[in-house]
Structure 1
Amino acid sequence: MSAEEPLDRIVLRYLQKRGYKDAEKAFLKESKSQKLTEMALVPHLGPDAAISDHILYYNEEDADPNSLVQGYRLLRDWVNHSLDMYKPELMRVLWPMFVYCHLELVNRDEGHVAREFHRRFGPDHLLLHEEDVRALAGVAAPAHAESDATARKFRDNRIPISCCQYTFDLLVKYLHHANQMALLAVLNAHISVTVVKGDPAPHTDEAELSAKQVITGVGPPSRIDKFNAKYDQGRWGVLEDSVEVLALDEFEEEKLREERRAAGAKSDGAEGGEEGGEE
């Protein structure tokens, strides 16, 4: 990237590459934006963070802090009602989203909203992150974020998570189609996602979290029940063009193809053995 290239062009290329059509139009219309270098929530992350933040705050004068709270609530609800095979991996994103939504509210000097956000959603994460949750409860003003060791730890580092390609695609498509620009910015700027090969698999911590019913207070329904509920009622869990269903079908079809190939190879081997015996 050229040092002389205007940052507005960089932003436009970023929006076009990611397919954020609505944000691109809004950016083009916006004439009172701050400079991107002045808008970075995490200055040390450089231009990428500034670009992400601009997606969220292209019109900061009209920004509503409650959009972060509402966005997190919708994401939490979507994850909690996602298909059983993807839910354990999707749950991993809720902790970093909680952390950085809280810290962003604090950075915007919305202490009252930050406290209410923490009171409402903090208990979800006590099982796995009790020490950090309790520390963040005391961070409610920009000065606190500067002096608190826990806040600095999260400010200076991205939280790592891992998931399979199917899960990552579902997450990004949900955030995009639900117009969750605030959380897309958080994902891009503050979460380090490692996409691993293979099938979605439950992690011990996530399985324990689900078993203890921390988020919902009810046991997880079966995959069939969840699919029927989503398909009939049009819940948030089903994305545009039934992304989850298509991904599930593709996943299971690939499994079936592998089983058929294995069965064919086994059959060919058995026939070869019989011919050898006849000779």
Structure 2
Amino acid sequence: MSAEEPLDRIVLRYLQKRGYKDAEKAFLKESKSQKLTEMALVPHLGPDAAISDHILYYNEEDADPNSLVQGYRLLRDWVNHSLDMYKPELMRILWPMFVYCHLELVNRDEGHVAREFHRRFGPDHILLREEDVRALAGLATPAHAESDATARKFRDNRIPISCCQYTFDLLVKYLHHANQMALLAILNAHISVTVVKGDPAPHTDEAELSAKQVITGVGPPSRIDKFNAKYDRGRWGVLEDSVEVQALDEFEEEKLREERRAAGAKNAGDGAEGGEEG
């Protein structure tokens, strides 16, 4: 039995359970000619988080723990260089990703890597979440994480965030293209995303927002279920007409337009200065 076969069956059961007949046929056809490890799996599994957990566990066997650190670093860089209109909402994902990347490293008994990860990225979050950041810094072993109250709080509950549909699509598309399966698993299993209608929220008081993000209990990311219902075909893999591809294309087009506008404004300014000198 190949290493991919158990995961094949899990994905197939998921497609059958959700009634994605066309996707099931496509999966069976595709799996005959393509290794599962070369495919990007559906990111929106809603409460069926066991699939994502399996993906995370599946990658653990051969994964260098530093790849988790690298994945978070790349996500952080991508968020920090995103367009200003989406950045405030995208920034909200960094705290929960930091928490669960750190806990994952501790649970893998990679205490040295976890400490270095915390030293490098913990200061990003100390201003708004000092108590939790300092508590996480004290975790060194799986046994410690098992008994620690802060670790249990995060392990037994989801961290809530909210964002508009377009921001959520951009995030998922990025994780797909970057092949960040571990971060996708964290998103599905540990973060409760509320997708709200309308445009991206303007810059808000992050301290006030942080105070509202109180973990109150385990709960399914209900809006993700609604997202699944809206796009009711089985969406695994990066399809040319998928919402993620469309979102990324629009994102890149908008960025290009902004660069052109900035270049045009600069050229106009240079021309005006030249005219005055003449």
TM-score (norm 2): 0.62
Q: 1:185 corresponds to which residue?
A: 185
Range with bigger deviation, 111-120 or 242-251: 242-251
Give per-residue Cα distances to partners, 1:127-159, cap 9 Å, x unaligned: 111110011000111111111111110001000
Residues 131 and 27 (structure 1 numbering): CA distance in 2 closer, same or farther, change over 3 Å?
farther
Residues 38 and 268 (structure 1 numbering): CA distance in 2 closer, same or farther, change over 3 Å?
closer
Range with bigger deviation, 242-251 or 137-146: 242-251
Rg larger in structure = 1
Structure 1 stretches of 4+ with a deviation exceeding 6 A read 1-7, 15-47, 207-246, 248-275
Residues 67 and 272 (structure 1 numbering): CA distance in 2 closer, same or farther, change over 3 Å?
closer
Q: 1:82 corresponds to which residue?
A: 82
Shift, 1:60, TM fit:
3.5
TM-score (norm 1): 0.62
Counterpart mapping for 1:1-279 below 5 A: 9-12=9-12, 14=14, 48-206=48-206
> How big is the alpha-carbon RMSD for the aligned residues of Structure 1 and Structure 2?
14.6
Range with bigger deviation, 159-168 or 20-29: 20-29
Residues 50 and 225 (structure 1 numbering): CA distance in 2 closer, same or farther, change over 3 Å?
closer
CA contact (8 A) 1:40 1:53 kept: no
Range with bigger deviation, 95-104 or 219-228: 219-228
Give the distance between the partners of 2:114 and 2:247, measured in 1 at CA. 36
Give the distance between the partners of 2:157 and 2:218, measured in 1 at CA. 34
CA contact (8 A) 1:159 1:191 kept: yes
CA contact (8 A) 1:79 1:237 kept: no
Give the distance between the partners of 2:251 and 2:39, measured in 1 at CA. 41
Shift, 1:49, TM fit:
3.4
Give the distance between the partners of 1:153 and 1:118, measured in 2 at CA. 18
Residues 220 and 252 (structure 1 numbering): CA distance in 2 closer, same or farther, change over 3 Å?
farther
CA contact (8 A) 1:78 1:237 kept: no
Range with bigger deviation, 78-87 or 126-135: 126-135
Q: Percent identity among equivalent residues? A: 97
Shift, 1:23, TM fit:
15
CA contact (8 A) 1:20 1:176 kept: no
Give per-residue Cα distances to partners, 1:151-195, cap 9 Å, x unaligned: 110001000000000100000000001111110000000000000
Higher relative contact order (CA 8 A, sep 6+): 2
